[in-house]
């Protein structure tokens, strides 16, 4: 199973839920069990709810895409830092082994957090 949901799947699922809600509304209307009469205010509130939900879903999908890139970018940055440290240590010696252990600890911390 995919870890993310495509925009088309969200659209299809939304249509399915819409059909279910409209079907239930029709059944309640035909049976005369409506406790609330629809008004323009009610329709506006429902439309606003779907509008906000759309914003939330679009932001969530963007966050998932960003989170997929984070480990690779972090690893590349740590690798670049180590290569830079190796070059610097040629001219200005320092504890490169300790620096490497610190970078590995940062990578382990990222892995543990994910």
pLDDT along the chain (114 residues), means of 10: 70 93 91 81 89 85 79 91 93 91 91 82
Pair (53, 105) in one structural domain: yes
* pLDDT value of position 4: 65
* pLDDT value of position 2: 54
Pair (97, 64) in one structural domain: yes
Pair (10, 30) in one structural domain: yes
How many distinct structural domains can be found in the chain?
2
* pLDDT value of position 1: 47
Pair (62, 25) in one structural domain: no
* Count of other CB atoms within 10 angstroms of residue 78: 17
Q: Residue 75 CA to chain centroid, in angstroms?
A: 21
What is the DSSP secondary-structure string of 2-71? -SS--HHHHHHHHHHHHHHHHHHHHHHHHHT--SS---HHHHHHHHHHHHHHHHHHHHHHHHHHHHHHHH
* Count of other CB atoms within 10 angstroms of residue 94: 10
- Domain hosting residue 89, numbered range: 38-113
Pair (29, 50) in one structural domain: no
Which distant-in-sequence residues (6+ apart) come within 8 Å of 96 by Cβ? Answer: 85, 86, 89
């Amino acid at each position: 199973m995919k870890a993310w949901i495509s925009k088309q799947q969200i659209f299809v699922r939304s249509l399915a839920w819409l059909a279910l809600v409209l079907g239930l509304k029709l059944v309640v209307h035909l049976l005369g069990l409506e406790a609330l009469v629809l008004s323009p205010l009610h329709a506006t509130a429902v439309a606003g709810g779907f509008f906000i939900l759309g914003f939330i879903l679009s932001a969530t999908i963007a966050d998932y895409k960003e989170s997929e890139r984070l480990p690779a970018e972090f690893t590349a940055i740590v690798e670049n830092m180590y290569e830079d440290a190796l070059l610097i240590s040629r001219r200005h010696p320092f504890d490169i082994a300790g620096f490497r252990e610190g970078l590995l600890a940062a990578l382990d911390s990222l892995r543990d957090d994910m």
